[in-house]
Amino acid sequence: MASPSEWESGFASDGPPAEGDNGLVSAVARRKGLVFVVLVFGLGLGFLYSLKAERKYQSTAQILIVKQETDLPLSSAEGEVNYENQLSTHMLLAKSPMIVEAAVKKHDLGKLPGFTGVANPVDVIVANLTTERGGGRAAPDPNVFEIRYKGRDPEECKVVLDAVIDSYQESLGSTYQSAGAQTVQLIEQAKDSLSKQLTDKEAAYRQFRKEAPLVHQSEDGRNLHLLRMSEIEQDRSEVMLEKSQTLAQIESVKQIKRSGGNPEALTLIIGDSKILRPSEEGRDPLQYRLYDAMIDERIALDQYGSDHPEVKKIQTTIQMLREQLGGQGIKRSGPIPSFLDLYLEALQQELQVADNKLNNLNELFESEHEAAKKLEDFEIHDDTLKADIDRTQELFDNVMQHLDAISLVKDFGGIRAEVIWSPAAGRQVQPNLMVVMSIATVFSLMAGILLAYLVDLADTRYRDPEEIRRQFGLPILGHIPVIERRVSRRQRKESKMTPAVCTFFQPSGRDAEAYRNIRTSLLFNRDGKNLKVLQVTSPSSGDGKSTLCANLAVTLAQSGKDVLLIDADMRHASAHSIFGAANDLGLSSVLNGECDPFDAMQSSEV
């Protein structure tokens, strides 16, 4: 006989045991009747509430906010007022205690039946007044808002809303007329102040022009001192360039003098220089030729000496030029000076002249610079005064323009409220049957689902074989439904067995198929080939173990096996009655030694 552990291992599935669905969905599915009852009960309560609840009615009106424009600009310098904010302001104003109190006093709303016994009708009306921007999705930003009043009587709703709208329109007109008058007064004060400022600034500018020097400007409007500074700077650049060239020549002459005085180099240095030449203006050409001859004489003496024919020739030319000049011209006293010394001295004099020019130009530049700065300061101050006067004049003109525009519209205000949807008798808004029933449905379903879940948690019974498998950790061999014990009369007459043996009387029925599934599970598991003895038990009587054993024995016998069924229930033995066998000898007789086991065995009809 296989041990229980071997049987458990033999029937265990390959994977982990499947978890049953014990969640909310399965609980609601098992207790759907309870959920339905709670839902019906909740809907009934909701319908009863809609019948017994106090009726509330609501009257609605639509108001158009019209901003009265003129052709003249009325916007301030900072920009136009946000019109959307104006609409929000009017929505708050229409339901404000100030408007409601004026409506109650003017129209005697406190005498209406709905306010009987109410100490302060204003608070009640304000609490039941609502406003909302109109238009919806079709016009999301219209200049329209809706005002609603909710009360117990439909006619009173209309009366109260008419009174509030009338008070709102009256307050709106007086407010904007007063505001228009105050605006005119403020603008007139600003005009007087600006006029005085403009007069004072113009007088100050005239005084400044009297004290300021004459403004010197060129044709293109530029400062003449700045133009002169530009010309002086150009002259300074030229003088500095000449000075640089003279210094270079001095350095070259000194270098030639140190090297011994090469005549060719001296000729290249002199070139077209006019330093050693007399001025051509007012000078006789013979004198110019005499001067050049004297230079040639000095060069020839340095190069050839006094006895050279070339020197004699040049001296003869000099003598002839002097005779032609009648003894005038350049006379030499003393020894002939070195030409390099003469040329170097001339360059030094030219350098001194350049320095004097540069100093004079610097002094003139500084003088013009100071004059330009003073003139620029006066020009800046002049521009500042004129700009200040222009700004004041522009502001004054703007104020005058606003004053003229506001004077045209101050008598009829800038904002007008028109009723485009007049209040009608209130329609019922509370209780709303659709809303009440929807809320009742939601809460009833929630309560029913919660109750079903709690009841399902409190129920400890096994609801399906899977719960049993999870609880005990053992495999399920099969599931046997409730047996219908229906047997034909012919079968009853021909057999002594009870109808409980369905595998015998109805071998093709679903009950017999369930027993055959159990037989298959026993025989075809991995230990089924060693199956010799099978024990069936249960915790209490009446569980059906005798019926199971009888039908299982029949199915095993039908498969061609020899089966011995032993009823070991000593208190309530029933196998003999199921198979219609004698009860003279049995297990107790064998155990007591009264007979041999083979003598106690009985055959059945199977």
Maximum average pLDDT range among 58-72, 126-140, 157-171, 528-542? 157-171
**Residue among 298, 480, 355, 401 at smallest CA distance from 75:** 401
Q: If pLDDT is split at 50, 70 and 90, which confidence band does 71 have?
A: very low
Q: If pLDDT is split at 50, 70 and 90, which confidence band does 464 have?
A: confident
Q: If pLDDT is split at 50, 70 and 90, which confidence band does 1 have?
A: very low
pLDDT of residue 588: 85
Backbone angles phi, psi at 65, to 5 degrees: -95, 115
Q: Indicate the length of the chain as a whole number.
A: 606
Tokens of 327: 């003894």
SS (H, E, C) 342-373: HHHHHHHHHHHHHHHHHHHHHHHHHHHHHHHH
Q: Which residue has the higher pLDDT, 539 or 270?
A: 539
Assess contact for 496 and 579: CB atoms under 8 A.
yes
pLDDT of residue 2: 46
Residue pLDDT, tens place only, 309-339: 887 888 888 888 777 776 554 444 444 445 5
CA atoms within 13 A on the CB side of 61: 28
Assess contact for 210 and 378: CB atoms under 8 A.
no
Residue 151 pLDDT exceeds 60: yes
Percent of the chain with pLDDT over 90: 7
Rounded to the nearest integer, the mean pLDDT of the chain is 76
Place of tokens 């404000």: 96
413 phi-psi bin (left φ>0, alpha ψ -120 to 50, beta other) = left
SS (H, E, C) 547-580: HHHHHHHHHHHHCCCCCCCCCCCCCCCCHHHHHC
pLDDT of residue 43: 93
Position 53: which residue type?
Answer: A
Domains of the chain (ranges plus CATH)?
4-14+23-51+431-465 (no CATH), 225-389 (no CATH), 477-600 (3.40.50.300)
User: What CA–CA distance (Å, rounded) separates 602 from 579?
Assistant: 10
Residue pLDDT, tens place only, 375-410: 777 777 777 888 888 888 888 788 777 666 666 555
pTM given for the model: 0.41
Residue 416 makes CB contacts below 8 A (sequence gap 6+) with: 65, 66, 68, 172, 173
User: What CA–CA distance (Å, rounded) separates 459 from 467?
Assistant: 13
User: What CA–CA distance (Å, rounded) separates 460 from 518?
Assistant: 27
Residue pLDDT, tens place only, 98-136: 989 888 988 888 888 888 888 889 899 999 999 888 765
Number of neighbouring beta carbons within 10 Å of residue 581: 18
Assess contact for 316 and 300: CB atoms under 8 A.
no
Residue pLDDT, tens place only, 468-520: 778 778 787 777 777 666 655 555 556 778 778 888 887 878 888 888 888 88
